[in-house]
Chains A and B, each alone.
Chain A
Amino acid sequence: MPDKYILKKDHLLPLLRKLKKTHRLIAPVRNRHGDTLFAGIDNLDEVRIDLENQPQNSLKQFFFPQQETLFTYSNPASDSYHFEPVVEESPPTLYFGVRSCDLSAVLYMDVVFLKNVKDPNYQRKRQNTILVGLNCNDPFANCFCNATRNGPFIDFGFDLQLTDLGDRFLVEYDRSRGQEIISDWRQFFAEADDQDVKAQYQAFLEARGKFRLQVHLDQAVKKLARDEVPESVWEELSMRCQDCGGCAYICPTCTCFSISDLQTTDHAGERIRSWDACTFSGFTRMAGGHNPVDRQMRGIEKRFRHKLQFDVKKDNRPSCVGCGRCVNICFGGTDIVRFINMTCCENI
C-alpha cells in the first residue's frame, strides 16, 4: 500500500459524511457569531467547517473536561457509604482538522494521563478516537510552533494527516486506523505522484518562512536550566498577573485539576474534578493559611518553569506547543512569549 494519497477537495464533505455514520464528528466550526470552535457536528449541511481560522479551544476539553463528575456517593445509613462511578459512554469519535500544535498537545496529555497510572476517565474518552490532522500552510498571527519544534508540519501521532495543495489534499497515514479508512473508502483516494509530494514539500518550506513571531524558546530553556533568569523577570511578570487563570485554562497542555465534593442532599453527593491553575493562590495555600509562594513576587514562576524547565528535564522537550492561544489574551500581558523575550533580551 502506498503511503501518500490525494483527496480532492470536492470529495472532503462526501468522505466526512460517510465517516460520520460510524463516528461522532468533531471539527472546527465557524458559528453564526463569527467565532471558530471545535464542536460536535450534528448535521454537516447546517454548519460551516472552518479551516481558515485557528479554533479558539483546543481538544483538551474533550478528553479532560473543565468539570466532570467522577463518582457519586451516598450514605443511606450512618455507618455505610455507597460509591457509584460515573461512567459516561464514549462513542467512537473522529476529530477533524487538528493542527500540529493541538495534536502534539494530545500526545503530551497521553503521557500525563496514561503513562504511569491510567486515568480511567481520560482513557475512556481517548480510546476509539481518530485524529485527522491538518498541516499548517499559513501559521496564524501568534503561532510559534517552529520554536517549540512541533510544527508547522508534523509527521507522527495522527491517524490521517492532510496537507492543503490548493484544489486537493495530500493524505498521509501514521496508524493502522488511518490506513483502514483509506482502504475502506478507497473510492475517495487516488495515489499521490511525485508532483504532489514535491508540492507538499514546497508548502512546508513556504510555511516555515511565514511565522510572524520570533520566539527564542531554546535560549529561554537554556537560561532556565542554568538558573540564569533574573529575579526581576519573575517579579515584573508576577506583578502584571491579574489572577484570571485564563492562560492555564486556554492552554492545550495545562493539565492541573482540583477535586471537590458537592453535597447534593443530606445523604448524598458527588465528587467533581475541575480545571485548576498554578497561578491561583489557593493552588499552593496550606490549611493554616500560610502560602509558600509569594504571589506578588513569584506567582507566575511555576507555570513557565514547568513548561520550559521541568518537562524538558523529565522528557527532553518543552510542554509548550507554540499554539499562541495565550498570547495577547493576558489581562496584564504576562504570556509565555513575553517571558521568553524578557529572559532572552536581558543581556542584549
Chain B
Amino acid sequence: MAGLATTFGSGAMTNSINEIENAQVMLVIGSNTSEAHPQVARRMFTAMDRGARLIVIDPRRTLLAQRADIHLAIRPGTDIPLLNAMMRIILDENLADDLFIEMRTENFYELRDMLFRLDLEEAARITGVELASIRAAARLYGRAQKAVICYCLGITQHVCGTGNVQSIANLAMMTGNVEKEDTGVDPLRGQNNVQGACDMGALPNVFPSYQQVDIDDFREKFERAWHVSLSPRPGLTLMEMTHGGKNGPLKAMFIMGENPVLSDPVMSRVEETLDNLEFLLVADIFLTETARRAHVVLPAASFAEKTGTFTNSERRVQMVRRVIPPLGQSRTDADIIMDLSARLGYVMDYESPAEIMEEIAMLAPIYGGMHHDRLENSWGLQWPCWDREHGGTPFLHKYYFTRGKGRFVPAAHEPPAELPDDDYPFLLITGRIYHQYHTGTMSRHSVLLSREAGEALLQLHPEDGRRLGVRGGEMVRMRSRRGEVRVKAQLTETVKAGEVYTTFHFSEMPVNLLTVSAKDHFSQCPEYKICAVHLEKV
C-alpha cells in the first residue's frame, strides 16, 4: 500500500464495493476476485450484465479471466512493462485526460518522458502478450468514462510491488479515472481486518491513523494521552522480526492471532528464529504451527465471543458482536492485553470495547467520529469520518487527492528475484483458493469447507504433466533452492505450460518452505508470487 500512499496520499480503496456495479470498464490485475473477494466479483458480474466490459490481467486463466472480454495472460512479474505499454498507447492515441492531469496532478512530464523512450515491441515481448491485445485493452480502458481498477496481492507480492502499484495509479490518473464516484483504484485487502490493523497503527512506523512515530508533534500527542515517553525510532517489520534466525535482533515475542510459521516466506527460517527466542508468547484460538513452538500459549476467544469493530476493504468500520461467552477458560485478546499490561505495571482500565474506541476516536483523526453507539445503529461508517456529525466517506479524493495533487511516479521493469533456469525449470505462483482462508486456522476446522477443498493441489498444465509422466491425482516432488514438498497434481489449462500454482493454506504441504525471502524495498512485501522450482514424479 506504500505505492498508493505516495501517489494519492492514502493507501486504501478509493471506492465503495457497490460502486463497482456502475463502472463501464473494469480492469482486474493480480486478483482472483471471484475466489478471494466474492462480493466484489458479484458486483463485477452485475456490471457485466448491465453492459460493462472486463479486462483481466493474470498469468492464469482463472474463472474470472474466462468471463473477461480481454484476458492478458502475462508472464508473472512483468506488470510494469505491460502497464507502461498501455500508458504509451493511451498517450499515442490521445486518450489521456489532459485537463485532469493539469488540474489535479504533478510530475506528469517525468512519466511522459519515460513513456516516450519506451519500445512497445520490446515491452510486449517481455510480457509475453501480443501487442494487439495490449492495444485493445488500453483503448477500452482509455475510452471509458467510468473505469475501476481492482488489484490485490498479485500486484504487491513482488520485489517491484511498489512500482506495480505506482504504475496502476499512473494509469488511472493519466486517464482521469479517479476522484469520481464509480471510478477509481481499489486495492482489495486480503484479510478481514487488515485495513483496521493498519489504521490502528499495528505497524512499526506509525501510530493509529498513520501518524508517523518519528514526527515530534504526533509523538508528543500520544505521549500526553498515554502518560509515557515514546521512542521516535521506527521499529522492525514483520519480516525483520520473523527472519532474524539464530542471531536475530529479538529475544522475546508476543504473537496475537497470527501464524507466521505457515504464512511467512522461507518457513525453515521462521522456525529457526522462533526456536531461538528466549521467550515466545502466543495467543490464539487453536494450537497453530506457531503456538506449538511457544513457551506460553493463551486461549483466545473467537470473533463470535467478543464485541468490537472490523474495518473492511472499503474502509467501512462495522460492529462485531458477542453471540456467546468465551468458550472454556478462553478470554478475549483485549482482556489478555489489559491483564498483561497491569502485570507489567501499566494499568489499562477500559470497561468495554466502546471505551477503547472513544480513546481511538480522540487520537486517530480518520476515526474521529467512530463511536460504538453510531456504528451500532447503522451499517457502519467509512473513514475518514472526522467527528460525530460526519457521515463517513464512500469514495476518496473527491475534489482533491489526500496529499493535495496526485503525483506521477514512473516505474521501470525490475525482473523477479528468481526466475526458472535449467535446474529449476518451473515458475511457481502461490495464492489462495475459494474454500479456504489464509493458514486455514479457521476454515480447515469447518467440515463442509474441508470436504470441498481439503488438500493442497498443484495446478499443472497437461502438456507439462505428459512430459513429466504425471497424471491428475498423482504425487509430485517439488523442490526449490530452499526446500522440498510433496503435493498432489491437478492437470488444468488454468496455468500456462512452464508455470505451476498452489496455495499456502495447508500445513501438510507448507509451500513457504520453497518461496524466496526477497521482498519489495519500500513496502517489505515478500515476493510470494514467483520462485523457481523443479518437479518430478514421486
Q: Size class of B's contact patch?
A: 10 to 19
Which residues of chain B are within 8 angstroms of A114 by Cβ–Cβ distance? none
Q: In the complex, what distance in Å separates the CA atom of A221 from the CA atom of B288? A: 52
B45-A331 in contact (CB<8A): yes
Contacting chain B: which of A168-176, A196-204, A235-243? A235-243
**Contacting B451 at CB < 8 Å: which of A240, A262, A282, A331?**
A282
- Assess whether A12 is interfacial by the CB under 8 Å rule: no
B452-A281 in contact (CB<8A): yes
Q: How far is the CB of B352 from chain A (nearest CB, A)?
A: 19
B38-A242 in contact (CB<8A): yes
Q: How far is the CB of A91 from chain B (nearest CB, A)?
A: 22
Q: How far is the CB of A292 from chain B (nearest CB, A)?
A: 16
B473-A242 in contact (CB<8A): no
A333-B38 in contact (CB<8A): no
B448-A240 in contact (CB<8A): no
Q: How far is the CB of A249 from chain B (nearest CB, A)?
A: 11
* A261, closest chain B residue (CB): B447
Q: In the complex, what distance in Å separates the CA atom of A280 from the CA atom of B451? A: 10
- Assess whether A107 is interfacial by the CB under 8 Å rule: no
Q: In the complex, what distance in Å separates the CA atom of A274 from the CA atom of B42? A: 26
Q: How far is the CB of B430 from chain A (nearest CB, A)?
A: 21
B447-A260 in contact (CB<8A): yes
Interchain residue pairs with CB less than 8 A apart (21): A32-B377, A239-B63, A239-B66, A239-B67, A240-B45, A242-B42, A242-B45, A242-B63, A260-B447, A274-B447, A274-B448, A280-B452, A282-B448, A282-B451, A289-B473, A331-B38, A331-B41, A331-B42, A332-B42, A332-B45, A333-B49
- Assess whether B341 is interfacial by the CB under 8 Å rule: no
Q: What sequence of 0s and 1s flags, for each residue 17-57 of chain B, a beta carbon within 8 Å of any chain A beta carbon?
A: 00000000000000000100011011001100100000000
Q: How far is the CB of A327 from chain B (nearest CB, A)?
A: 13
Which residues of chain B are within 8 angstroms of A333 by Cβ–Cβ distance? 45-46, 49
A-B pairs under 8 A by CB, number: 40
Which residues of chain A are within 8 angstroms of B377 by Cβ–Cβ distance? 32
B45-A243 in contact (CB<8A): no
Q: In the complex, what distance in Å separates the CA atom of A333 from the CA atom of B34? A: 13
Given known A-B contacts A244-B38, A289-B473, A276 and B448 have beta carbons under 8 A apart: yes
Q: What sequence of 0s and 1s flags, for each residue 208-244 of chain A, a beta carbon within 8 Å of any chain B beta carbon?
A: 0000000000000000000000000000000110111
- Assess whether A264 is interfacial by the CB under 8 Å rule: no
Query: Given A32-B377, A331-B41, 7 more contacts at CB 8 Å?
Result: A244-B38, A258-B448, A281-B452, A331-B38, A331-B42, A332-B45, A333-B46
- Assess whether B346 is interfacial by the CB under 8 Å rule: no
Q: Which residues of chain B from 329 to 386 have a CB within 8 Å of any chain A CB?
A: 377, 379
B34-A242 in contact (CB<8A): yes
Q: In the complex, what distance in Å separates the CA atom of A281 from the CA atom of B435? A: 11
A242-B67 in contact (CB<8A): no
Which residues of chain A are within 8 angstroms of B42 by Cβ–Cβ distance? 242, 331-332
Closest CB pairs A-B (n = 6) = A282-B451, A331-B42, A260-B447, A282-B452, A332-B45, A289-B473
Q: What sequence of 0s and 1s flags, for each residue 270-306 of chain A, a beta carbon within 8 Å of any chain B beta carbon?
A: 0010101000111000000100000000000000000
Q: In the complex, what distance in Å separates the CA atom of A3 from the CA atom of B451? A: 53
- Assess whether B434 is interfacial by the CB under 8 Å rule: yes
Given known A-B contacts A32-B377, A333-B46, A333-B49, A242 and B448 have beta carbons under 8 A apart: no
Q: In the complex, what distance in Å separates the CA atom of A218 from the CA atom of B447? A: 39
Q: In the complex, what distance in Å separates the CA atom of A2 from the CA atom of B8? A: 75
Q: Which residues of chain B from 484 to 517 have a CB within 8 Å of any chain A CB?
A: none
Given known A-B contacts A240-B45, A281-B452, A331-B45, A262 and B447 have beta carbons under 8 A apart: yes
* B488, closest chain A residue (CB): A289
* A260, closest chain B residue (CB): B447
Which residues of chain A are within 8 angstroms of B39 by Cβ–Cβ distance? 331
Q: Which residues of chain A from 308 to 348 have a CB within 8 Å of any chain B CB?
A: 331-333
Q: What sequence of 0s and 1s flags, for each residue 460-476 of chain B, a beta carbon within 8 Å of any chain A beta carbon?
A: 00000000000001000
Which residues of chain B are within 8 angstroms of A33 by Cβ–Cβ distance? 379
Q: Which residues of chain A from 6 to 55 have a CB within 8 Å of any chain B CB?
A: 32-33
Which residues of chain B are within 8 angstroms of A331 by Cβ–Cβ distance? 34, 38-39, 41-42, 45
Q: In the complex, what distance in Å separates the CA atom of A52 from the CA atom of B49? A: 30
Q: In the complex, what distance in Å separates the CA atom of A281 from the CA atom of B377? A: 39
Which residues of chain B are within 8 angstroms of A276 by Cβ–Cβ distance? 448
Q: In the complex, what distance in Å separates the CA atom of A239 from the CA atom of B451? A: 22
Which residues of chain A are within 8 angstroms of B66 by Cβ–Cβ distance? 239
Q: In the complex, what distance in Å separates the CA atom of A150 from the CA atom of B507? A: 51
Which residues of chain A are within 8 angstroms of B34 by Cβ–Cβ distance? 242, 331
Q: How far is the CB of B131 from chain A (nearest CB, A)?
A: 29
Q: In the complex, what distance in Å separates the CA atom of A276 from the CA atom of B39? A: 21
A242-B447 in contact (CB<8A): no
* B451, closest chain A residue (CB): A282
* B39, closest chain A residue (CB): A331
Q: How far is the CB of A260 from chain B (nearest CB, A)?
A: 5
Q: In the complex, what distance in Å separates the CA atom of A239 from the CA atom of B41? A: 14
Which residues of chain B are within 8 angstroms of A282 by Cβ–Cβ distance? 448, 451-452
Q: How far is the CB of B517 from chain A (nearest CB, A)?
A: 35
* B376, closest chain A residue (CB): A32
Which residues of chain B are within 8 angstroms of A242 by Cβ–Cβ distance? 34, 38, 41-42, 45, 63
Q: In the complex, what distance in Å separates the CA atom of A274 from the CA atom of B39? A: 24
Which residues of chain A are within 8 angstroms of B473 by Cβ–Cβ distance? 289
Q: How far is the CB of A222 from chain B (nearest CB, A)?
A: 27
Which residues of chain B are within 8 angstroms of A332 by Cβ–Cβ distance? 42, 45
Q: In the complex, what distance in Å separates the CA atom of A243 from the CA atom of B64? A: 13
Q: How far is the CB of B17 from chain A (nearest CB, A)?
A: 13
* B48, closest chain A residue (CB): A333
* B378, closest chain A residue (CB): A33
Q: How far is the CB of A3 from chain B (nearest CB, A)?
A: 45
